[in-house]
């Protein structure tokens, strides 16, 4: 399991507008998990902007960014879809689809101008999105008596340890999220702080979204 970057999943898409030489470039982007999701989003944008000359797109999928695809949608080859794709890759993002809609303003931009325009429009959209680092954490469950709670909570604050909601009953069970490389040290520290009275168990690693 390794970390990767994506954008926050929201109900609506991110939208930005860029205008140059009377041409309008409207960018929409969204978090997606599958090719089907990406294609459905592209189709939806094309239906919404059916009167636009071009709806160019690109998407990157998979934790290793293995699946990448772009489409110029009628623009000269390599002047639209690929610049959008490169903007995604420059930001190191995956599980994302970007569509840039162009309303032609009557002034031709030329190949270089189109590449710069689509690249800038895509970058504006990406900048407007909330980006996440999907980070692997090991869950460490810590069962303690209430007499140790303040000590452990202070230790968590000092070491900026994240946690899930605790379980309270006769004792307390804390669910700490620890970087795998630090699990052994944290386990040892808590054991020492509680004089061995804490019951510790580790769960499988999971990916937790961290805003960047």
| pLDDT at residue 204 is higher than 90 | no
Spatial separation of the C-alpha atoms in residues 104 and 54, rounded to whole Å: 8
- With cut-offs at 50, 70 and 90, classify the pLDDT of residue 11: confident
Average pLDDT (22-40) is 97
Give the pLDDT confidence score for residue 66 in this predicted structure: 96
- With cut-offs at 50, 70 and 90, classify the pLDDT of residue 1: confident
Average pLDDT (45-62) is 97
Cα separations in angstroms, 129 against 20, 180, 189: 22, 29, 39
Give pLDDT tens digits for 135-163: 999 999 999 999 999 999 999 999 999 99
In the chain, what are the domains?
Answer: 4-129 (3.30.230.30), 134-211 (3.30.70.240)
Spatial separation of the C-alpha atoms in residues 203 and 193, rounded to whole Å: 21
Give pLDDT tens digits for 69-102: 999 999 999 999 999 999 999 999 999 999 999 9
Task: Write down the pTM of the prediction.
Answer: 0.86
């Amino acid at each position: 399991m390794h970390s990767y970057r994506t954008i926050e999943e929201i109900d609506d898409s991110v939208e930005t507008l860029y205008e140059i030489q009377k041409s309008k470039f409207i960018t929409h982007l969204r978090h997606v998990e599958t090719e089907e999701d990406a294609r459905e989003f592209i189709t939806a944008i094309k239906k919404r902007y059916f009167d636009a000359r071009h709806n160019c797109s690109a998407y990157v999928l998979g934790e290793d960014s293995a699946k990448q695809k772009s489409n110029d949608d009628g623009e000269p080859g390599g002047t639209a879809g690929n610049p959008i794709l490169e903007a995604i890759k420059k930001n190191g993002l995956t599980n994302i689809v970007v569509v840039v809609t162009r309303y032609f303003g009557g002034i031709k931009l030329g190949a270089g101008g189109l590449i710069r325009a689509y690249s800038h429009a895509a970058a504006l959209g990406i900048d407007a999105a909330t980006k996440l680092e999907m980070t692997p954490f090991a869950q460490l469950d810590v069962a303690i008596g209430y007499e140790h709670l303040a000590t452990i909570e202070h230790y968590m604050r000092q070491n900026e340890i994240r946690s899930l909601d605790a379980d309270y009953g006769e004792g307390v069970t804390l669910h700490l999220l620890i970087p795998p490389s630090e699990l052994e040290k944290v386990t040892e520290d808590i054991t020492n702080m509680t004089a061995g009275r804490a019951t510790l168990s580790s769960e499988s690693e999971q990916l937790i979204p961290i805003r960047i």
